Amino acid sequence: MSVRLGVNIDHVATVRQARATRDPEPVTAALMAQNAGAHGITVHLRGDRRHIQDRDVRLLKEVLSVPLNVECAASSEMLETLIPMRPDWVTLVPETREELTTQGGLDAIFLQAHLKPIIRELRTSDIRVSLFIDPIADQVTMANRLEADAVEFNTGVYSDLPRSADPKVELERIAKASRLAGKLGLRALAGHGLNLQNVRLIAAIPEIEELNIGHSIIGRAVLVGIDTAVREMINAIAEARS
């Protein structure tokens, strides 16, 4: 089975917001990524709307033919905003105002009472739910108990390892958690900090179905164009499974 690539286009909106103008248009970037073979598009609708705006989500849902995944905080404001827009997936992530990007996974055990009705409401609205969690068995078990459809494993610790470090322990943690997710019938996704250099070892984990990658693809797209950047990543992922 090949691994699907979800391209996170938040950084395109970040450049647009730097001047509060219309360019570059995230919808155009998403369509170009889709054309290059992306299997899905991901955006993070943050509470402070620092990059992606509500209108981006609305337009993306209208024009994309691949699934749209919206990352967001588990809040009632996000439910009210997103449910009418009907994204295909919602990925619940921890969110704090000061962070540059998502820090660590959601603590599904600590937050279980809060998450339960939110997950139920999304699923009854025909929106599939993924939980961004650290690769820890108890978190996977809780995601299953909360009836999430998928878990996305935080690869941030693996991605942040110094080049000289042996990634074996961290990879085994992710592989073990992925096997458990597979056994429980949860789809296993992964992402955070993945790039052309470190993606192969994660893509080689058999239970991982999809990778969500943003920074490295959009960063590379500035230099070589989004079409090339997406194709390069798809090829790197495919090589890992061949």
- Residues with catalytic function: 44, 71, 192
235 lines the binding site for ligand PXP (CB under 6 A): no
Burial label for 30, CB within 10 Å (0-12, 13-18, 19+), is buried
139 lines the binding site for ligand PXP (CB under 6 A): no
Give, as ranges, the residues between 162 and 181 that touch ligand PXP (CB under 6 A).
none
| CA 189, 122, 136, 191 torsion-angle sign | positive
Asked if 61 and 87 touch (Cβ cutoff 8 Å), the reply is yes
26 lines the binding site for ligand PXP (CB under 6 A): no
Question: What is the residue whose two structure tokens read 């890992």?
Answer: 240
44 lines the binding site for ligand PXP (CB under 6 A): yes
193 lines the binding site for ligand PXP (CB under 6 A): yes
Secondary-structure percent of the chain, ordered helix, strand, coil, rounded to 5 = 45, 15, 35
Of the listed pieces 78-86, 111-119, 208-216, 232-240, which binds ligand PXP according to CB under 6 A?
Answer: 208-216
Asked if 122 and 148 touch (Cβ cutoff 8 Å), the reply is no
- DSSP annotation string for 41-65: EEEE--TT-SS--HHHHHHHHHH-S
Of the listed pieces 110-118, 164-172, 179-187, 214-222, which binds ligand PXP according to CB under 6 A?
Answer: 214-222
The size of the interface with ligand PXP (CB under 6 A), counted in residues, is 19
CB of 90 vs ligand PXP, minimal distance in Å = 11
Report helix, strand or coil for 31. Answer: helix
CB of 105 vs ligand PXP, minimal distance in Å = 8
Nearest to 33 by CA among 171, 232, 186, 175: 232
- Answer for which of 102, 139, 144, 198 binds ligand PXP (CB under 6 A) is 102
Per-residue x/- track, 1-20, ligand PXP (CB under 6 A): -------x-x----------
Q: How are beta strands 128-133 and 89-92 bridged, if at all?
A: parallel
Give, as ranges, the residues between 62 and 101 that touch ligand PXP (CB under 6 A).
71, 91, 93, 101
Of the listed pieces 53-61, 119-127, 164-172, 210-218, which binds ligand PXP according to CB under 6 A?
Answer: 210-218
Query: Which DSSP category does 20 fall into?
Result: T
CB of 68 vs ligand PXP, minimal distance in Å = 14
Give the interface with ligand PXP as residue ranges (CB under 6 A).
8, 10, 44, 71, 91, 93, 101-102, 132, 152, 191-194, 212-216
